[in-house]
Amino acid sequence: MPTRPATRSAQTAQQAALTQADPRWAAVLARSAAADGSFWYSVVSTGVYCRPSCAARTPRPENVRFHASCADAEAAGFRPCQRCKPLQPSALAHHAGLVTQACRILEAEGATPLGTLAARVGLSSSHLHRIFKQATGLTPKAYAAAQREQRVRSALGQASDSVTDAIYEAGYQSSSRFYEKSAQVLGMTPTRYRAGGAAQRIRFAVGQCSLGAILVAHSGQGLCAILLGDDPDALVRDLQDRFAQAQLVGGDADYEALVAQVVAFVEAPGLGLALPLDVQGTAFQQRVWQALRSIPPGQTASYAEIAARIGAPAATRAVAQACGANALAVAIPCHRVVCSDGALSGYRWGVERKRALLQREADAAHTAHTAHTAQKQEKVA
């Protein structure tokens, strides 16, 4: 018959296991400011409750309890922590107001020296730079540039007197500097963009792979769309919606060879895809997509981890939206991003396709590792 101490030990171990299995525990370990306001945790041994970002020493998991609100924690007999002060607005919430104020200034006035901008919101330059990037994923300078790019896209879409007028109206100081980056900003020349992409010629073809129908489109600069689905006609309509004014041209025999390369990559990720990409998106989206391409095949990362990698730990939701906006399936591997608890969700081409892609990448990585190990053993022998 078990003794009482043994029973207590088993209960402690069980409580620790429950805490460690809870996704909220990972946020506590990471002291995630992004999780502040979504839950609170208390510590039985101290009798206090904290916000997830509290800088106090990490408690033992068996002593932790989670609460949906401060009121719930206090009803359970816990008092607010004097270090993180959970009843007061979080630092993130306070910073959000200052960052919003800075954003409004940049949107109204364009590029502003960092020192001037910081003084207007009552912060030091370094402090503003840090919290601005945490909140938006961009530096103030990059945010101003993104707003300027948005203004020029809007101006070119209207009946301005000339392309040059639209460039200057958007805030560019010289047309030459804009033209140097026009392909990156617009994905095409300003004149072509103003025409709604009417002069852009996009070749495409629809094929079949083990994941269903696949559409591969090429803009002349690189692959601009890899779409997956069950209905080939729906994929074509999706492409037409994305490039409403472009000239869509069915691929010829040479193009079919390019499609075959993409299909082979989908079927065997270990082959790699040595084809140029025509990646069109906002500055933030492109940072997210670049981070996705750095995830090795066979591995995954959470949305929160990607947000941290691009220097915007509070932008988890924006990272998820950027993944959803990706039109280059597999080439920009948004399927490698999973929830914090490892669950699969949020894949625009279906969770089952996401699971299949991850499985074949894991299999390919395992095969490569096995082969490498065998080669090492042969050399030793």
Q: Hey, what amino acid is at 354?
A: K
**262-275: string of b/e by CB count within 10 Å (b at 16+)?**
bbebbeebeeebee
Residue 372 C-alpha from the chain's centroid: 32
Contact 351, 318 (CB under 8 A): no
**113-124: string of b/e by CB count within 10 Å (b at 16+)?**
ebeebbeebebe
Q: How far apart are CA 180 and CA 185, in angstroms?
A: 10
Q: Hey, what amino acid is at 379?
A: K
Residue of 54, 103, 334, 339 marked catalytic: 334
Bridge-based pairing of strands 337-338 and 301-302 is parallel
Q: CA-CA distances (angstroms) from residue 57 to 70, 140, 308, 374?
A: 20, 34, 22, 45
- Is 334 known to be catalytic? yes
Q: How far apart are CA 284 and CA 306, in angstroms?
A: 12
* Sheet-wide strand order for 48-50: 64-67, 40-43, 48-50, 79-80
Residue of 50, 54, 224, 323 marked catalytic: 50
The closest of 221, 189, 226 to 205, measured between CA atoms, is: 226
Instruction: List Cβ neighbours of 316 (8 Å cut-off, separation of 6 or more).
Output: 34, 303, 304, 307
Q: Hey, what amino acid is at 330?
A: V
Contact 52, 92 (CB under 8 A): no
DSSP-assigned states of every residue in 200-240: -EEEEEEEEETTEEEEEEE-SSSEEEEEEES-HHHHHHHHH
- Is 84 known to be catalytic? no
Q: How far apart are CA 225 and CA 212, in angstroms?
A: 16
User: Which residues are annotated as catalytic?
Assistant: 50, 334
